[in-house]
Amino acid sequence: MKHFLKETDFSPREAAAVFAQARELKRQRGGATPRPLAGQTWAMIFSKSSTRTRVSFEVGIHELGGNPLFLNRADIQLGRGETVADTARVLSRFVHGLVVRTFDHAEVEGLADAGTVPVINALTDLLHPCQIYADLLTLAERWAAPGEDLLAALKGRKIAFVGDRGCNVANSWIMGANMFGMKISLAGPPGFDAAPEFDALLAREGFAKSYEFTTDAYAAVRDADVVYTDVWVSMGKEEETAERIRVMTPFQVTSALFAAAKPDAFFMHCLPAHAGQEVTQTVLDSPRSIIFDQAENRLHVQKAIMATLAAR
């Protein structure tokens, strides 16, 4: 059984096919489109809030001919102590795929191990691979010349991630950049490095020490093709809000910091954004801000991911 729990669960060749299919589904949207999930139900187990991920998966499953079944963790027995393994075994008798947003990454792995249907990681504390695939498609669309291979257009480009350098989106960008031959530099306050669990994962993937961490935001954005940030207080970290705002304030993406990247650099943010914290409103509104293209591409890329997994 094939799952999508982390970027590298698809080989670069499989990922190229996913991006190509996403582009095609985007082009066809609104017209006659394939329905590879016809007759299927995909359950979505969410333990955290969501706007983009929930809506893009529900709409995407529907557009592929399937039926989305949204399950708030608190409403099912998983939230009252039923085991991850039993939940996976039971749901596998009813549905054809699971889309899971949760805290502990081990939970998505446990569902994948015990169940018999594909599992997609819709964000854990460790990784957010659907976001990074959508981001990579967004950049490839901008950079690829007509007829050029989408992935070739990413090679050698530099991304600067500024802010909470140890968060799930930062981790996933390290994975994505390494997988597709991009350079990545991350800037943020000391003491907010990635969890040891992430370093172990990188080592297993052969990506150890393949990124640069700095406390100098201007050094990170120098020669960058993309300046990326995310919220300073990820879901589950609310108790640390005051301290995070205090130490991350020097890492706000301002017009001056953005101007220190390449002149044609893009600004990206997975959203939701907190204007005045991790980024200014001026940068969010910049003509080189591509935040809503990123959001839209969640739909197209996730449809391609589901169609690929359903075909196995």
- Quick one: which segment of 151-159, 163-171, 177-185, 202-210 binds ligand NVA (CB under 6 A)? 163-171
Distances (CA, A) of 191 to 129, 228, 249: 24, 20, 15
Binding residues for ligand CP, rule: CB under 6 A, are: 50-53, 123, 131, 270-272
Q: How is residue 273 annotated by DSSP?
A: -
Q: Name which of ligand CP, ligand NVA, none residue 134 binds, using a CB cut-off of 5 to 8 Å depending on partner kind.
A: none
Contact 284, 311 (CB under 8 A): no
| Positions in 220-239 near ligand NVA (CB under 6 A) | 230-231, 234-235
Q: Name which of ligand NVA, ligand CP, none residue 248 binds, using a CB cut-off of 5 to 8 Å depending on partner kind.
A: none
Return the sign of the alpha-carbon dihedral for residues 152, 157, 162, 165.
Answer: positive
Structure tokens at 100: 């899971």
Q: How is residue 275 annotated by DSSP?
A: B
Q: Name which of ligand NVA, ligand CP, none residue 51 binds, using a CB cut-off of 5 to 8 Å depending on partner kind.
A: ligand CP
Return the sign of the alpha-carbon dihedral for residues 185, 191, 196, 198.
Answer: negative
Toward ligand NVA, which CB reaches closer, 167 or 305?
Answer: 167
Q: Name which of ligand NVA, ligand CP, none residue 249 binds, using a CB cut-off of 5 to 8 Å depending on partner kind.
A: none
| Cα distance between residue 239 and residue 246, in whole Å | 13
Does 124 engage in binding with ligand NVA (CB under 6 A)? no
Contact residue for ligand NVA among 22, 167, 248, 305 (CB under 6 A)? 167
Toward ligand CP, which CB reaches closer, 183 or 298?
Answer: 298
Contact 129, 7 (CB under 8 A): yes
In the three-class reduction of DSSP (H, G, I as helix; E, B as strand; rest coil), residue 165 is classed as: coil
- Quick one: which segment of 106-114, 133-141, 166-174, 201-209 binds ligand NVA (CB under 6 A)? 166-174
- Quick one: which segment of 65-73, 95-103, 167-175, 212-220 binds ligand NVA (CB under 6 A)? 167-175
| Cα distance between residue 139 and residue 226, in whole Å | 9
**Binding residues for ligand NVA, per CB under 6 A?**
167-169, 230-231, 234-235, 270
